[in-house]
Amino acid sequence: MGRFLRRVVRSARAPRRASRASTVRSADGKQYRVVEVNEAKDNEFADPPRKWGRVGAMVGVWGLLLALGGWVAPAIAASGNPENEDSRDQPASSANNAAWRYLRYGSNQDLDRAEATLCEDASPELTPSDLDAIRQSYDDELGGITRVDLETGDPVAGTDGTTVAGTVSYIHEATQRFEDFVVTVQEEDGAFCVSNAVQVEDDEPSAGDGTGDEADPQAVATEFLRAIVVDREPAAATASQCASYTGATPEEFDAAITEWAADKGDVTAFIDGIDPAESTETSITNFAVEISLKAGLNQENFTFTIGVQEDCIVSLAGGDGLI
């Protein structure tokens, strides 16, 4: 009976089957036990099978959304941020700024922005198209325009509005031409617009105009210096010299400017001012003249004394540091 019970107990308590194991020996004599892996149990926590068609569709949708976001987002951000607006399209901040914009854009082939500075019902004598035509005439004359410079004076209040004088320089390498303009600006509730613009004609008498009238000594001196400094045409200046002329020749003056430009860079030369000066001879009218040479951040001023006798230049002195 006892033996029977022991058999029953043994049969009810079946021993666990030991995992198959084997041992292997490495080259250095160490033994390793290899145990069989239960793959069914390990696969219980494995990743679910992927549906690759759905994954591909999701990738395509995300790519489309990113592409649309890259295209639309900057436009939305720019439209809502005033900092992203082009400063050239902002309203003029003053009478001087309105005049500057009109002359600058009209002379620099940006006619739409020049038109935008005009008052609503304005009919200017000098239109943006006229400014562009002036530029084109100098482009043809000089063989191209490399830069356009603009200087404006202080605004002057008047009954018809605020007037601002401006000078536009048309530059091709070392040669330049310039034109003078007067722009009239209106202000209403802090907004500024251009109502009129005119070109200033040069009424100064020339040394050789043949009219028989007495020449203006200051006009003679200005014409002589302009030919050398601004127009860079020393031959034209030579024609204004008296037979008794003394001082640096126009060719030497021009060569000195060229040498200065070779050291400093592309030069813009202009006359800063011309004022009467003392003269020891009653037949000679002297003028003190200051010229400026500018190249990038470099700018130097030079002073000369020029003498005029009747309708010609009799002397030129000064220019220390240049000639």
Give the single-character DSSP code of 144: -
* pLDDT 10s digits, 115-163: 999 999 899 999 999 999 999 998 888 888 988 999 888 888 888 899 9
- Tell me the two tokens of residue 169: 């320089």
Residues 6+ apart with CB under 8 A from 11: none
Interatomic CA distance for residues 319 and 302, integer angstroms: 5
The structural domains of the chain, ordered by start, are 91-200 (3.10.450.50), 217-318 (3.10.450.50)
> Do residues 148 and 135 touch, judged by C-beta distance below 8 A?
yes
Give the single-character DSSP code of 46: S
Interatomic CA distance for residues 180 and 80, integer angstroms: 40
Chain Cα centroid distance, residue 180 = 23
SS (H, E, C) 176-242: EEEEEEEEEEEEECCEEEEEEEEEECCCCCCCCCCCCCCCCHHHHHHHHHHHHHHCCCHHHHHCCEE
CA angle 244, 249, 250 (to 5 degrees): 120
3-class secondary-structure state, position 244: strand
Per-residue pLDDT of the chain (323 residues; tens, 9 = 90+): 555 445 544 555 555 554 455 666 766 666 766 666 555 555 555 555 655 566 566 766 666 666 665 555 555 555 555 555 667 778 889 999 999 999 999 999 999 999 999 999 899 999 999 999 999 998 888 888 988 999 888 888 888 899 999 999 998 877 788 899 999 999 988 899 999 999 987 654 444 444 455 778 988 998 999 899 988 999 999 999 999 999 999 999 999 999 999 999 888 888 878 889 998 888 999 999 999 898 888 899 999 999 999 999 999 999 999 98
Place of tokens 């926590």: 45
CB under 8 Å, gap of 24 or more: what pairs does 250-258 form?
A: 250/224, 252/323, 253/228, 253/229, 253/316, 253/319, 253/323, 254/228, 256/319, 256/322, 256/323, 257/174, 257/228, 257/229, 257/232, 257/293, 257/322, 258/174
CB under 8 Å, gap of 24 or more: what pairs does 255-260 form?
A: 256/319, 256/322, 256/323, 257/174, 257/228, 257/229, 257/232, 257/293, 257/322, 258/174, 260/293, 260/295, 260/300, 260/322
Residues 6+ apart with CB under 8 A from 312: 207, 220, 240, 241, 242, 245
